[in-house]
């Protein structure tokens, strides 16, 4: 079946397509109409809107034709690729083609993983698929360690263990070591940590049915950092990077963790559970301690962590936090280079004390709806307790833009993949 040709024009559409029409059609070809007066981001936004329109036509595929920049092709492709029965894309035969193919492969991996059903994607399956893809890309440069089920309790990874023990399917801490030099003494240039909650019922602090419907996406952090590492590898990453995925199902059972429980972490911090639906920070705490043990000068964690971040930034920006302001500014610049806007929210050391407990060093949240005011910053403050080197070089990404329950004017329903390019850029510059 033939594909629809898509080209760009800087002239207005013929009058029959309506005033200020963004797209017109003629004999197997779609023309996107832009204005030379538009800023670059406005042009990319208009292209994305047309991508959603073309996707709604259930085409077999599209073929780029004429003059396109790399970012213009990417804007259309990322908005065009729907979750189910996605149409094929034929890139321009240009110098940008290989880069776009690599980027698209990482995007498809990340989106498909996020969009998988929670029944199919158990914690162990999430770990396996991540390892399989990275091994396919990097071969013998990848080595792997798994800590599964009761092994987590024995090793002291209390966050992942307790969040995941309510499920019959065991939780996992996955460590992937990408070491292209194969020198076992090579320094670790960066460490990545991903929240991998394959389904989040909220536990005993149970979500509503509507709130639970999209919780297959709660492993979006794990998918994003894995997609970013894979993209960086395809782009020529020649530094050692370690990846830690904190994988669990947060379910209710006679063996599930409860409100009022107190967890004692490996670093001695005690945490009272006041909300079992604030589980992401509990598993990330283990991952951040494991990442800190590598002495990597750059640690990036990513997680679909708080509704407060979504309320603050909407679904277009990811929120970012750091105690290291120069590192934060560098990451913002790296993300902007890749047209992945992020927005910094407040984080200071005193945010560590925003979730007080009379029974432990801290609670895992505040006993208020949504964690109360400043919930995203308070969650970041909790995480900062588990990062070494006083937070130097640590970036926390709250993935507000990771998932859309239904299609938007710019993005299809499901995982977005937003974040993989900025994190990959940070790895390449580490």
With cut-offs at 50, 70 and 90, classify the pLDDT of residue 351.
Answer: very high
Distance CA 391, CA 388 (A): 6
For domain 109-429, the CATH superfamily is Zn peptidases (3.40.630.10)
Q: pLDDT tens digits for 78-101?
A: 999 988 888 999 999 999 999 999
Give how far Cα 124 sits from Cα of 195, 249, 253, 352, Å.
14, 10, 19, 32
Distance CA 26, CA 28 (A): 6
Q: pLDDT tens digits for 138-169?
A: 999 999 999 999 999 999 999 999 999 999 99
Give how far Cα 12 sits from Cα of 49, 63, 65, Å.
17, 22, 18
Catalytic residue among 53, 207, 266, 392: 207
The pLDDT assigned to 219 comes to: 98
Distance CA 33, CA 42 (A): 12
With cut-offs at 50, 70 and 90, classify the pLDDT of residue 197.
Answer: very high
The answer to whether 177 and 240 have CB atoms below 8 angstroms apart is yes
- For tokens 């993935």, name the residue: 399
The answer to whether 5 and 63 have CB atoms below 8 angstroms apart is yes
Catalytic residue among 111, 281, 354, 366: 281
281 is catalytic: yes
Q: pLDDT tens digits for 26-56?
A: 989 999 999 999 999 999 999 999 999 999 9
Q: pLDDT tens digits for 221-246?
A: 999 999 999 999 999 999 999 999 99
Please state the domain extents for the chain: 4-94, 109-429
């Amino acid at each position: 079946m033939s594909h629809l040709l898509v080209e760009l024009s800087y002239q207005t559409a013929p009058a029959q397509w309506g005033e200020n029409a963004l797209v017109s059609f003629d004999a197997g070809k779609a023309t996107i109409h832009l204005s030379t007066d538009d800023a670059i981001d406005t042009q990319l936004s208009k292209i994305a809107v047309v991508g959603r329109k073309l996707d709604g036509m259930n085409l077999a595929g599209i073929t780029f034709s004429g003059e396109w920049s790399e970012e213009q092709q990417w804007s259309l492709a990322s908005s065009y690729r729907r979750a189910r029965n996605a149409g094929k894309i034929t890139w321009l035969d240009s110098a940008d083609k290989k880069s776009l193919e690599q980027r698209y492969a990482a995007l498809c991996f990340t989106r498909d993983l996020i969009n998988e059903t929670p029944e199919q994607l158990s914690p162990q399956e999430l770990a396996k698929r991540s390892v399989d893809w990275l091994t396919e890309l990097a071969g013998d440069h990848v080595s792997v360690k798994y800590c599964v089920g009761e092994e987590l309790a024995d090793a002291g990874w209390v966050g992942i263990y307790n969040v995941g023990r309510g499920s019959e399917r065991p939780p996992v801490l996955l460590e992937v070591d990408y070491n292209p030099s194969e020198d076992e003494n090579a320094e670790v240039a960066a460490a990545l940590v991903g929240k991998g909650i394959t389904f989040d019922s909220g536990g005993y602090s149970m979500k509503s049915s509507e709130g639970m419907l999209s919780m297959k996406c709660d492993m979006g952090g794990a998918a994003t950092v894995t997609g970013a590492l894979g993209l960086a590898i395809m782009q020529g990453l020649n530094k050692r990077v370690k990846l830690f995925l904190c994988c669990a199902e947060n379910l209710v059972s006679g063996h599930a963790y409860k409100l009022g429980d107190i967890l004692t972490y490996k670093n001695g911090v005690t945490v009272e559970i006041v909300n079992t639906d604030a589980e992401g920070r509990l598993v990330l705490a283990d991952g951040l301690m494991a990442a800190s043990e590598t002495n990597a000068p750059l640690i990036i964690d990513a997680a679909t962590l708080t509704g407060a971040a979504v309320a603050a930034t909407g679904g277009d920006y990811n929120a970012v936090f750091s105690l290291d302001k120069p590192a934060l500014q560098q990451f913002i610049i790296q993300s902007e280079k890749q047209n992945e806007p992020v927005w910094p929210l407040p984080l200071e050391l005193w945010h560590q004390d925003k979730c007080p407990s009379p029974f432990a060093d801290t609670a895992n949240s505040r006993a208020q709806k949504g964690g109360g005011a400043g919930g995203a910053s308070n969650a970041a403050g909790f995480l900062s307790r588990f990062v070494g080197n006083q937070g130097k070089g640590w970036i926390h990404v709250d993935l507000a833009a990771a998932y859309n329950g239904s299609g938007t004017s710019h993005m299809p329903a499901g995982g977005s993949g937003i974040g993989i390019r900025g994190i990959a850029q940070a790895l390449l510059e580490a």
